[in-house]
């Protein structure tokens, strides 16, 4: 793994469906572990409320899509793509994430999915 | 064609006169007519049907049908306290004098104002006057009638020094009057000449059932007796009666009383019509045709003063119908009044009574079906007739003790449709009956406002109505007496079922159940974990709608810590960190200050904490102090200081009890009659931490001045000389609602038991995010239903609800204190999981008026310089 991957925390520290905020590459990143043990990393900044809060939202599914609801005004963001499910003109960045030796690593920002 | 405006004069501003003016405005009559309304009473029209509730009302304004005192339409002039003394039919003018002589109690210094108004059309809506039979002694001090707010005020004054009272007349109005005397704390007697109560509406068995009910309430019923005389010198001391049918000189008995209320019927107020030579009906009342026109084509009469076809109608619904007919006639429309449904459904002294159609089976070959349960105090009778095809039609019926079937049965009479093969099922307990019977479109559903099934279906199908409340607004159905509301609901549901529209009452895509159903599911199965509930009763992994609901239900039932392992991922924004999130992602902190009472030392602690953590400080509307701008990771340190000083969580963040606001009460206030602060503190401590469908607020005022604004709360308590009045279902906010009286003059123990039941019933049955006001309205029967369950314990749930509350009270703990004691719970109060000592750089403040305020955010903040990592700044890649 190159220097662009940053170790965040042991995967066991991530509770299912309850986010944490990490500081990665100087950015506030929201990290979530879903019920099916997928791990997702998103920018923590809610573009609607203009506050760094997404990790504190409720995690669930909407028509099968895993999402987090911002704690501010409940805008839903797809955990896999960062796309806002309520307003397609908005999205938040998503980041590569892997688990290595029981540790969560966050990498580069993913390119937007067309 | 001339375009001069006409003048329409309305004499009388009671319920019917008012309805006439409303209809005239609504239907455009004021485009061509100026309307002058002359009312004899000093106040504008008020709800006389609800007169008994006057004693419970805060002020007479609550009964008012025109609280603003004037109509919005400038072409309508309302003259009050004025009596029409002459109708000049030839000159088409009326003369009135003001003040009305009947209102004058002191000698006048001047003779008053006399005015004459010319009319093009005249509407008489002078109503009726109570009939006082010519009983010896009827003028003594302590004799009253029961018709106006002034009558009630006089009765209340006299009751202050009385111990017992008698109502003469056991009809509908007489029992209303008896209810008033009971409310005033008098030992109450009802004297009726007929052998049973409500002889016009009930048969012998129905009357007997009613007597058993109301004697349980302490009312003594003397049926089948004649009133001989009212005893006493100047003031009433009692009533002498003898059995009906005996001669004078027969043995008499005397009932002691200091108050006597005559309620022996009403007589049309037709004197002014008589004087100007209009034709009257044989038994009184202004004779009118089907358009409600009198023998003078320019004069109409409506309501209780009118006698269409020679018959007088003493109910409000026919009066309303007549008002509409006259508006129609003035617009040259075809409307006619050919008689009215005299069906009655009401609650008398807490007992449901209904009588409809041919209740006495006078139709030839009518058959009676009777269900009677003397133990439960229920009597139901259907009168049916067999048709030629062998099916049965409903002609009428009587319901006492349980009138829930009325809404379904009454329209069946008018529609004439065939009953099911076993019509008795309609009155057996637990019967639903109703729309399965295929009620025809033209069947009248709401008799008060003449709304048919077709109109309701139209409102649902075409006008987008989805709920009873929508239909009420749109058609007026169910907005007067409310008895047809269950039927309206059935019709809406039937329509949606017929068109295949699923009215989804489920919480969200994960649960088809309502909050109430989920509450029951949790209670029955004893679930403690979201995963178990969603696996057994839902789909998917939940969302921000259902998770907090389940968290709240679990907290209501088990009162565990909201941050316990199984629940913390379910908690809504604020519960998740036990604080209120603010616009920049910081939190505000509200320690509990029960009843708003705080010692100087504790006040200083709050000040010191605010100063040391640099928090913006503001006094809340709930008599406590809100500290803003705390970073999430600071919350434990702030609470450590507060808990050490004896503070507890104020639950400002929860859908739970917030505050019980109080005025200073009798301890200090020279007007106070009870210790409102002590009660507010006791209630706030009792219900603190109680999770509920929405936030809950309470208030306690120490006297009727209501300085605590208790009636803007979910529960409000106002002190009386005798105890406490309990009001429920109020709120402030965007749609303010005044709480309404649930029960009056309660001692503290009874008050608390009613509150326990009320709150638990709400928690069990309300919808998600439904405040108590909306919840009360959503119940079938509304506030009456709450009263049945809470006060009368009609479901037998009282003890269970109280036990649930007792369990809550016994298991209360301060969740902030518990959090501070648990490292697992504290572990999430960090800014960054991998940099717990770095404060979130997205949060910054500026200053205003000497305190902090959030700085506006320009976008995500990058701490590139302080974290040495090799990767390019990902956020700037795109």
On whether both B139 and B274 belong to a single domain, the answer is: no
* Interchain CB distance below 8 Å, B874 and A45: no
Rounded CA-CA distance A24/A105 in Å is 9
For B688-736, the pLDDT digits (tens) are 999 999 999 999 999 999 999 999 999 999 999 999 999 999 998 877 8
Domain ranges of chain A: 15-96
Do B764 and B790 have their domain in common? Answer: yes
Judge if B112 and B136 occupy the same domain: no
pLDDT tens per residue across span B779-832? 878 899 999 999 999 888 999 999 999 999 999 999 999 999 999 999 989 999
Using the 3D structure, point to which of B577, B594, B616 is the last residue of a domain.
Answer: B577
Contacting residues of A for B840, CB less than 8 Å apart: 21, 28, 52
d(CA B304, CA B166): 26
CA distances for A59 relative to A20, A44, B617, B763, B802, angstroms: 12, 14, 33, 25, 36
Does B489 map to a domain?
no
Phi, psi of B22 (to 5 degrees): -55, -50
Partners of residue A56 in chain B, C-beta under 8 Å: 573, 576-577, 581, 632
Q: Which of A17, A74, A108 minimises the CB distance to B541?
A: A17
- In whole angstroms, give the CA distance from residue B259 to residue B190: 12
**pLDDT, tens digit, for every residue of B318-358?**
999 999 999 999 998 888 888 887 788 777 777 889 998 88
The interface residues of chain B toward chain A in range 374-393, judged by CB-CB distance below 8 A, are none
Is B833 within 8 Å of A71 when comparing Cβ atoms?
no
In chain B, how many domains are there? 4
Is the residue at B216 inside a domain?
yes
Residue numbers of A between 38 and 97 with CB closer than 8 Å to B: 43-45, 49-53, 56-64, 66-67, 69, 71-72, 74, 76, 93, 95
In which region does residue B39 sit, left (phi positive, over 0), alpha (psi from -120 to 50) or beta (all else)? beta
Query: In DSSP terms, which residues pair with B300 in a beta bridge?
Result: B123, B293
Residues B250 and B306 both lie in one domain: no
Of B573, B834, B843, the CB nearest to A71: B573
> CA–CA separation, B433 vs B425, rounded Å?
8
Residue B180 belongs to some domain of the structure: yes
Contact B547 A58 (CB under 8 A): yes
Domain that holds residue B79: 6-128+267-330
Distance CA B153, CA B143 (A): 13
pLDDT at residue B871 in the model: 38
* CB burial of residue B336 (10 Å; 0-12, 13-18, 19+): middle
Same domain, B245 and B289: no
* B671 and B805 share one domain: yes
Last residue of a domain, one of B528, B550, B577: B577
Per CB-CB distance under 8 Å, the chain A contacts of B832 are 21-23, 28
C-alpha–C-alpha distance, residues B67 and B738, integer Å = 15
Cβ density class B95-121: b for 16+ within 10 Å, e for less: ebbbbbeeeeeeeeeeebeeeebebbb
Which CATH code of 3.90.1150.10, 2.102.10.10, 3.40.50.10090, 3.20.20.150 fits the domain covering A15-96?
2.102.10.10
Identify the residue among A22, A25, A36 best suited for mutation to test binding to B, counting B beta carbons within 10 A and taking the highest.
A25
Nearest CB to B838; choose among A23, A27, A59: A23
Write out pLDDT tens, residues B182-210.
888 899 999 999 999 998 889 999 999 99
Asked whether residue B153 falls in the same domain as residue B172, the answer is yes
Q: Cα–Cα distance between A101 and B286 in angstroms, integer? A: 98
Note whether B874 contacts A8, CB cutoff 8 Å. Answer: no
Q: For residues A71 and B587, give the distance between their C-alpha atoms in angstroms, rounded to a whole number.
A: 12
Residues 584-603 of chain B whose Cβ lies under 8 A from any Cβ of chain A? 584-585
Q: Is B275 exposed, middle or buried (0-12, 13-18, 19+ CB in 10 A)?
A: exposed
Nearest CA in chain A to B856: A50
pLDDT at B429: 62
CA angle centred on B93, ends B91 and B99, rounded to 5°: 150
pLDDT band at B229 (very low <50, low <70, confident <90, very high): very high
Cross-strand bridge partners of residue B192: B223
A60/B509 touch (CB, cutoff 8 Å), yes or no: no
Q: How many CA atoms lie within 13 A of B673 on its CB side?
A: 14
Residue B36: C-alpha distances to residues B45, B80, B81, B323, B602 (Å): 14, 11, 14, 16, 63
Q: What is the pLDDT of residue B245?
A: 83
Of the three residues B544, B561, B577, the one that is the final residue of a domain is B577
Q: Do B569 and A58 touch (CB under 8 A)?
A: yes
Task: Tell me whether A99 touches chain B (CB under 8 Å).
Answer: no
Residue from the list A31, A61, A93 with its beta carbon closest to the beta carbon of B875:
A93
Q: What residue ranges in A1-114 does DSSP mark as E strands?
A: 6-10, 20-24, 27-33, 39-43, 45-46, 51-52, 58-62, 65-69, 76-78, 94-100, 103-109
B686 and B715 in a single domain? The answer is yes
**CATH at residue B718:** 3.30.413.10
* Beta-carbon contacts of residue B93 (< 8 Å; ≥ 6 apart): B116, B117, B118, B119
- The pair of structure tokens assigned to B511 is 């649960």
- In the structure encoding, which two tokens stand for residue B137, read together? 């002694």
**B599 burial type by CB count under 10 A (0-12 exposed, 13-18 middle, 19+ buried):** exposed
Domain at B154, CATH number: 3.50.50.60
- B2: its two tokens: 């001339």
Cβ of B810: how many Cβ atoms within 10 Å?
8
CB A7 within 8 A of CB A104: yes
Cβ contact B869–A61 (<8 Å):
no
Dihedral angle, C-alpha B473, B479, B483, B484, nearest 10 °: -30
Q: Which residues of A touch B581 (CB under 8 A)?
A: 53, 56, 71-72
Check whether residue B748 and residue B616 sit in a common domain.
Answer: yes
Rg (CA), chain A: 13
Intra-chain end-to-end CA distance of chain B, in Å: 77
Averaged pLDDT score across all residues of chain B: 89
Asked whether residue B86 is domain-assigned, the answer is yes
- B559 and B701: one domain? no
Q: Of A4, A20, A34, which has the smallest distance from its Cβ to B870's Cβ?
A: A4
Residues B13 and B82 in one domain: yes
Asked if the model's pLDDT at residue B684 lies above 50, the reply is yes
Contact yes or no for B215/B199 (Cβ under 8 A): no
| CA nearest neighbour of B551 among B531, B580, B536 | B531
Distance of alpha carbon B195 from alpha carbon B221, whole angstroms = 11
Q: What is the pLDDT of residue B498?
A: 79
Q: Which residues of A touch B831 (CB under 8 A)?
A: 21
Residue B768 lies in a domain: yes
Spell out the residues 6+ positions from residue B857 whose beta carbon is closer than 8 angstroms to its own. Answer: A50, A51, B584, B842
Give the residues of chain A that fall short of pLDDT 50.
Answer: 1, 114
Report residue B426 as tokens: 């309609």
* Residue A114 in contact with partner chain B when CB distance is under 8 A: no
Let me know if residue B347 belongs to a domain.
Answer: no
ipTM of the complex: 0.95
Q: Coil, strand, or helix at residue B613?
A: coil
Q: Are A63 and B542 in contact (CB under 8 A)?
A: no
| Strand B657-662 to B625-630 pairing | unpaired
Q: B183 with B317, same domain?
A: no
Its pTM stands at: 0.59
If contacts are CB pairs under 8 Å, which of residues 801-860 in chain B contact chain A? 828, 831-835, 838, 840-843, 856-857, 859-860
Q: Is the pLDDT of residue B668 over 90?
A: yes
């Amino acid at each position: 793994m190159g220097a662009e991957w940053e170790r965040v925390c042991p995967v066991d520290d991530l509770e299912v469906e309850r986010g944490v905020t990490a500081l990665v590459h100087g950015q506030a990143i929201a990290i979530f572990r879903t019920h099916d043990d997928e791990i997702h990393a998103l920018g923590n900044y809610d573009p609607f409320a203009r506050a760094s809060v997404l990790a504190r939202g409720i995690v669930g599914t909407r028509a099968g899509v895993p999402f987090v609801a911002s704690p501010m005004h409940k805008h839903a963001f797809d955990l896999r793509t960062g796309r806002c499910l309520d307003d397609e003109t908005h999205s938040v960045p998503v980041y590569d994430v892997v688990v290595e030796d029981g540790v969560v690593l966050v990498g580069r920002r993913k390119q937007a999915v067309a | 064609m001339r375009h001069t405006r006409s003048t329409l004069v309305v004499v009388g501003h009671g319920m019917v006169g008012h309805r006439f003016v409303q209809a005239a405005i609504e239907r455009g009559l004021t485009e061509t007519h100026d309307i002058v309304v002359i009312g004899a009473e000093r106040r504008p029209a008020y709800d006389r049907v609800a007169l008994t509730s006057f004693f419970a009302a805060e002020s007479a304004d609550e009964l008012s049908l025109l609280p603003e005192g004037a109509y919005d339409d400038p072409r309508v002039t309302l003259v009050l306290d004025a009596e029409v003394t002459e109708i000049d039919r030839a000159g088409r003018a009326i003369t009135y004098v003001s003040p009305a002589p009947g209102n004058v109690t002191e000698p006048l210094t001047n003779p008053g104002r006399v005015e004459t108004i010319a009319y093009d059309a005249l509407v008489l809506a002078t109503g009726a006057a109570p009939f006082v039979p010519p009983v010896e002694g009827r003028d003594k001090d302590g004799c009253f009638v029961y018709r106006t707010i002034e009558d009630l005020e006089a009765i209340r004054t006299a009751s202050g020094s009385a111990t017992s009272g008698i109502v003469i007349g056991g009809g509908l109005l007489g029992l209303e009057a008896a209810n008033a005397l009971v409310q005033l704390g008098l030992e109450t007697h009802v004297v009726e000449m007929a052998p049973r109560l409500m002889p016009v509406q009930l048969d012998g068995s129905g009357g007997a059932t009613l007597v058993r009910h109301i004697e349980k309430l302490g009312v003594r019923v003397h049926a089948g007796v004649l009133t001989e005389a009212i005893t006493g010198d100047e003031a009433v001391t009692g009533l002498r009666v003898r059995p009906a049918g005996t001669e004078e000189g027969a043995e008499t008995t005397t009932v002691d009383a200091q108050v006597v209320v005559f309620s022996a019927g009403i007589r049309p107020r037709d004197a002014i019509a008589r004087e100007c030579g209009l034709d009257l009906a044989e038994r009184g009342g202004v004779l009118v045709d089907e358009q409600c026109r009198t023998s003078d084509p320019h004069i109409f009469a409506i309501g209780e003063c009118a006698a269409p076809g020679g018959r007088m109608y003493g109910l409000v619904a026919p009066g309303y119908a007549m008002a509409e007919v006259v508006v129609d006639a003035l617009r040259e429309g075809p409307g006619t009044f050919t008689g009215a449904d005299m069906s009655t459904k009401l609650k008398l002294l807490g007992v449901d009574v209904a009588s409809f159609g041919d209740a006495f089976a006078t139709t030839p070959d009518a058959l009676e079906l009777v269900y009677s349960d003397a133990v439960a105090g229920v009597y139901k009778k259907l009168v049916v007739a067999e048709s030629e095809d062998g099916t049965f039609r409903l002609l009428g019926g009587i319901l006492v003790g349980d009138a829930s079937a009325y809404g379904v049965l009454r329209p069946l009479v008018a529609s004439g449709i065939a009953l099911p093969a076993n019509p008795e099922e309609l009155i057996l307990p637990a019967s639903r009956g109703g729309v399965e019977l295929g009620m025809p479109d033209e069947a009248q559903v709401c008799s008060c406002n003449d709304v048919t099934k077709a109109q309701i279906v139209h409102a649902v199908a075409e006008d987008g109505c989805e709920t009873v409340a929508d239909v009420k607004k749109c058609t007026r159905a169910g907005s007067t007496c409310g008895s047809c509301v269950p039927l309206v609901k059935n019709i809406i549901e039937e329509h949606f079922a017929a068109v295949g529209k699923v009215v989804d009452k489920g919480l969200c895509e994960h649960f088809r159940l309502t909050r109430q159903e989920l509450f029951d599911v949790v209670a029955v199965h004893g679930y403690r974990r979201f995963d178990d509930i969603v696996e057994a009763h839902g789909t998917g992994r939940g969302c921000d709608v259902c998770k907090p609901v389940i968290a709240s239900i679990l907290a209501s039932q088990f009162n565990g810590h909201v941050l316990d392992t199984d629940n913390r991922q379910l908690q809504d924004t604020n519960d998740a960190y036990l604080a209120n999130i603010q616009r920049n992602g910081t939190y505000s902190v509200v320690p509990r200050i029960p009843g708003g009472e705080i010692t100087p030392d504790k006040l200083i602690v709050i000040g010191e904490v605010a100063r040391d953590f640099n928090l913006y400080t503001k006094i809340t509307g709930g008599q406590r102090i809100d500290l803003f701008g705390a970073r999430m990771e600071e919350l434990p340190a702030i609470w450590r200081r507060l808990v050490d000083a004896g503070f507890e969580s104020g639950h400002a963040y929860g859908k739970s009890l917030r505050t019980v606001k109080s005025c200073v009460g009798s301890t200090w206030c020279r007007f106070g009659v009870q210790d409102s602060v002590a009660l507010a503190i006791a209630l706030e401590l009792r219900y603190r931490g109680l999770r509920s469908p929405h936030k809950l607020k309470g208030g306690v005022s120490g006297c009727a001045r209501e300085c605590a604004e208790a009636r803007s709360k979910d529960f409000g308590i106002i002190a009386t000389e005798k105890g406490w009045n309990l009001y429920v279902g109020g709120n402030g906010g965007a749609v303010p609602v005044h709480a309404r009286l649930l029960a009056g003059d309660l001692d503290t123990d009874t008050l608390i038991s009613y509150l326990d039941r009320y709150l638990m019933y709400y928690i069990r049955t309300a919808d998600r995010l439904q405040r108590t006001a909306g919840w009360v309205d959503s119940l079938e029967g509304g506030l009456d239903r709450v009263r049945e369950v809470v006060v009368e314990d009609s479901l037998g749930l009282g003890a269970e609800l109280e036990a649930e509350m007792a369990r809550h009270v016994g298991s209360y703990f301060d969740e902030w204190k518990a959090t501070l004691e648990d490292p697992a719970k504290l572990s999430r109060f960090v800014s960054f999981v991998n940099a717990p000592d770095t404060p979130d750089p997205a949060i910054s403040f500026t200053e205003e008026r000497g305190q902090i305020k959030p700085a506006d955010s320009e976008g995500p903040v990058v701490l590139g310089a302080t974290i040495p990592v090799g990767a390019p700044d990902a956020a700037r890649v795109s």
